[in-house]
Amino acid sequence: MTNVSLQSLLKKAEAALKSGDARTATMHYQEILRQYPSNQRAQTALLKLSKQPQTKAQGSLPDPIAKRIMQALSSGLIAEAADLATKATFAHPQAFQGWLLRGVTLQVAGDFARAERAFDKAARLNPRSAISYYNRGLMQQHLRKLGEAQTSYELCLRLDPKMLDALNNLGVILRDRGQPMQARVRWQQVLDIDPDHADALINWGNTCVDERDMETGIDYYRRAVAAQPAHKLALANLCEAYEKSNLLEELDTLLLSLDAELVAQTPALGLQLASLYFRQKDYAACCKQLEGIDAERESLEFGSKYYELMGKAREKLNDFGSAFEAYRKLNLVVASNHKSYLEGASSYLRRTQQRANEDWTEFGDWVKAEVENCEEAPVFLVGFPRSGTTLLDTFLRGHPEVQVFEEVDAVAQMMGVLPDHRTLGELLSTEESTKQAMRSAYQRALAQHSTVEGRRVWIDKLPLNMVNVAEIQTAFPRAKYILALRHPLDCILSCYKQNFVINTAMYIMTDLVMAAELYSNSFDVFTKAIEASGASCLNIRYEDLLVNPQSSLQDALTFLDLPWDERVLEHEKTAKGRGKINTPSYSQVTQPLYTESVYLWRNYETELADVKSLIEPWVKRFGYTL
């Protein structure tokens, strides 16, 4: 089946040629070659369009040579095309068209550095050639030479202010250089000329999504799809935005409307279709769909999503050996993609161990004495990742007097007032002015994320704040804690199965032993801090919350001095009204409660053998069994 997007672009290009608008025709042919590099009609047309009147120093290649290069390119004979182009530049060193074609052959071969030099030579031979500057900028963009790419695009636009691809790419450069407002100006210029320019619409949508404005981002993706119904990137981004916004009905409707061949040709859409089968609980179909995708040919980011979904689907089919193998590949991919975090993760583990090994007696006595000096009593929802904090958060935010702050770095900003990594002994000497500065920094950080007025209780939910209790107690000796608990092995296994957004702490989860060490260190720190300071803390077990949510929530509301309200039980309604949920649990908390994940670790006892001994003390302490 011919791609509708290709047909549309060819019609636009040929219509522009007939009307004498060579610039617009060039733009459309370039877009065709971007999506379909071997399209002979576009290659031939661009070759003809490149033959502008030239001076002797800026001449075209002889027709037979240029045609042979283009024919080799269109036939997929990249090495031959590159050899012909190289020979052409030796035979005709002053012909800018030869250097332009040499750059194209190198670009197709993926040799962006040499392609950049070839396009630069073409631009110097013919300083009036906008396309040479454009292609040079494109290579510099690939090479992440953002400042140089910006200059190339600006030079291109001086010669041809309406070259839309250059305007669009310049917007991308500006966004990547931290200038999103200026980027939008460029994309708006594109859309003023061509309201259906899909790439500009997609880029604008991406920027909105990055800024957590999912609604606007989705609108731009929809416009891109309306303009080019078979645009693979627009469809993939729209699907992902629907998923992350919990707009699952819209997502499923879109997926089921797509042409099967288009889905088969687009791994990102194939992965989304597999996710649809998973949501429909057709796990065999999910696995079959995934098996038709060669994940190793895709990006590492794609691979991480692929192996996570494969593991979950295999697990649902009780094929636990294959499931664990998929999770193992997931973590290999994630670790490989984020090697730069390894050193920081190791340092983070060491610091938590050092904090756990400090003497908490004097610090605890000091905090107890400080209670009289601070009336503020913020509430912190903590627990090891994947212990049910997002589910508990979703229940509690249903109360009309509660506002929950999800994954806000307020404690980190508060700690920024202090020198790095202070010992407990050093915290004892914290001056009152410093403590007040810590409190002010914390309150400002939360206030920036406040979304509703008149909520009496603010809850700061960031699970691993449990390792920062000493700093929290220094500023807020009356702080209260809700600790989410789950069977330690279920918790660690769930972290290993999860495709987290990677930071220093989450990198640790790519290794089971490291995750177990962090679990032990985190609870060692937290329990010693609570016991030493006598801080108010309520434990809520994930397993109890699933079986009898009303009882657990009644305990929580009593702890928070709040009256009972039935709306806290409407967690599905609350979750769906939240929009984007900034944790990996977004797809789970929108569903009815289920207990399939309780004690799931028992199916992986062999794989968890190395961590059981590390975790056994905590299993016993929290009343669980092995």
Asked whether the predicted pLDDT for residue 109 surpasses 70, the reply is yes
- Any idea which residue has 């900003």 for tokens? 413
Average pLDDT over residues 514-532: 97
CA atoms 352, 357, 361, 363: torsion sign: negative
Among the residues of 448-581, which ranges form H helices? 469-475, 488-496, 504-507, 512-533, 542-547, 549-559, 571-576
Burial class (CB in 10 A: 0-12, 13-18, 19+), 219: middle
**pLDDT band at residue 256 under the 50/70/90 scheme:** very high
Asked whether the predicted pLDDT for residue 103 surpasses 90, the reply is no
At residue 28, the pLDDT reads 78
Classify residue 623 by its DSSP letter: T
Asked whether the predicted pLDDT for residue 14 surpasses 50, the reply is yes
Least confident of 79-83, 357-361, 385-389: 79-83
CA distance 183 to 194: 17
Average pLDDT over residues 297-304: 92
Q: Is residue 249 part of a domain?
A: no
The terminus-to-terminus CA distance of the chain in angstroms comes to 57
At residue 82, the pLDDT reads 83
Q: Check whether residue 350 and residue 236 sit in a common domain.
A: no
Residue pair 475/435 in contact by the 8 Å Cβ criterion: yes
How many beta carbons lie within 10 A of that of residue 7, not counting itself? 11
Q: Is residue 325 part of a domain?
A: no
Average pLDDT over residues 63-87: 84
Nearest to 473 by CA among 363, 384, 561: 363
Q: Is residue 353 part of a domain?
A: yes
Average pLDDT over residues 319-348: 96
At residue 220, the pLDDT reads 97
Q: Check whether residue 17 and residue 127 sit in a common domain.
A: yes
Q: Is residue 314 part of a domain?
A: no
Nearest to 481 by CA among 517, 523, 428: 523
Asked whether the predicted pLDDT for residue 581 surpasses 90, the reply is no
Mean pLDDT of the chain: 89
Q: Is residue 302 part of a domain?
A: no
Q: At what angle do helices 180-193 and 198-210 cross, to 10 degrees?
A: 150
Q: Check whether residue 346 and residue 221 sit in a common domain.
A: no
Q: Check whether residue 239 and residue 355 sit in a common domain.
A: no
At residue 578, the pLDDT reads 56
Average pLDDT over residues 45-53: 62
Structural domain boundaries, residue 349: 341-621
Average pLDDT over residues 210-233: 94
Percent of residues, the chain, with pLDDT higher than 70:
92
At residue 325, the pLDDT reads 98
Greatest distance between any 2 Cα atoms in the chain: 91
Using the 3D structure, point to which of 243, 259, 279 is the last residue of a domain. 243
How many beta carbons lie within 10 A of that of residue 369, not counting itself? 10
CA 272 to chain centre: 16
Among the residues of 19-162, which ranges form H helices? 22-35, 40-49, 63-74, 78-91, 96-108, 112-125, 130-142, 146-159
Residue pair 442/417 in contact by the 8 Å Cβ criterion: no
Least confident of 17-31, 293-307, 417-431, 510-524: 17-31
CA atoms 336, 339, 343, 347: torsion sign: negative
Residue pair 122/132 in contact by the 8 Å Cβ criterion: yes
- Any idea which residue has 């989860």 for tokens? 509
Counting other chains too, the contacts that 591-597 makes at CB distance below 8 Å and 24 or more residues apart are 593/546, 593/549, 594/546, 595/543, 595/546, 595/547, 597/490, 597/494
CA distance 461 to 483: 10
How many beta carbons lie within 10 A of that of residue 447, not counting itself? 11
Residue pair 404/459 in contact by the 8 Å Cβ criterion: yes
Q: Check whether residue 391 and residue 527 sit in a common domain.
A: yes
At residue 85, the pLDDT reads 83
CA atoms 605, 611, 612, 618: torsion sign: negative
Asked whether the predicted pLDDT for residue 287 surpasses 90, the reply is yes
Residue pair 393/461 in contact by the 8 Å Cβ criterion: yes
**pLDDT band at residue 606 under the 50/70/90 scheme:** very high
CA distance 514 to 344: 13
Q: Domain count of the chain? A: 2
Residue 480 CB partners (closer than 8 Å, separation 6+): 377, 378, 379, 380, 535, 536, 537, 538, 559, 560
Q: Check whether residue 202 and residue 350 sit in a common domain.
A: no
Q: What is the pLDDT of residues 218-227, one digit of tens each?
A: 999 999 999 9
Q: What is the pLDDT of residues 366-404, one digit of tens each?
A: 999 999 888 899 999 999 999 999 999 999 999 999 999
**pLDDT band at residue 591 under the 50/70/90 scheme:** low
CA 493 to chain centre: 22
Extract the tokens encoding 55.
């001076």
Residue 350 CB partners (closer than 8 Å, separation 6+): none
Asked whether the predicted pLDDT for residue 580 surpasses 70, the reply is no
Q: Is residue 59 part of a domain?
A: yes
Using the 3D structure, point to which of 243, 261, 296 is the last residue of a domain. 243
At residue 19, the pLDDT reads 65
Q: Check whether residue 350 and residue 229 sit in a common domain.
A: no
**pLDDT band at residue 1 under the 50/70/90 scheme:** very low
Q: Is residue 561 part of a domain?
A: yes
Residue 508 CB partners (closer than 8 Å, separation 6+): 345, 348, 349, 514, 515, 517, 518
Opening angle at CA 74, ends 72 and 78, nearest 5: 50
Q: Check whether residue 603 and residue 490 sit in a common domain.
A: yes
Opening angle at CA 354, ends 348 and 360, nearest 5: 130
Burial class (CB in 10 A: 0-12, 13-18, 19+), 407: middle
In Å, how far are 19, 20, 178 from 15, measured between CA atoms? 6, 9, 38
At residue 69, the pLDDT reads 84
Residue pair 467/604 in contact by the 8 Å Cβ criterion: no
**pLDDT band at residue 228 under the 50/70/90 scheme:** very high
CATH code, domain with 202: 1.25.40.10
Using the 3D structure, point to which of 243, 262, 293 is the last residue of a domain. 243
Q: Is residue 274 part of a domain?
A: no
CA atoms 100, 101, 104, 106: torsion sign: negative
CATH code, domain with 498: 3.40.50.300
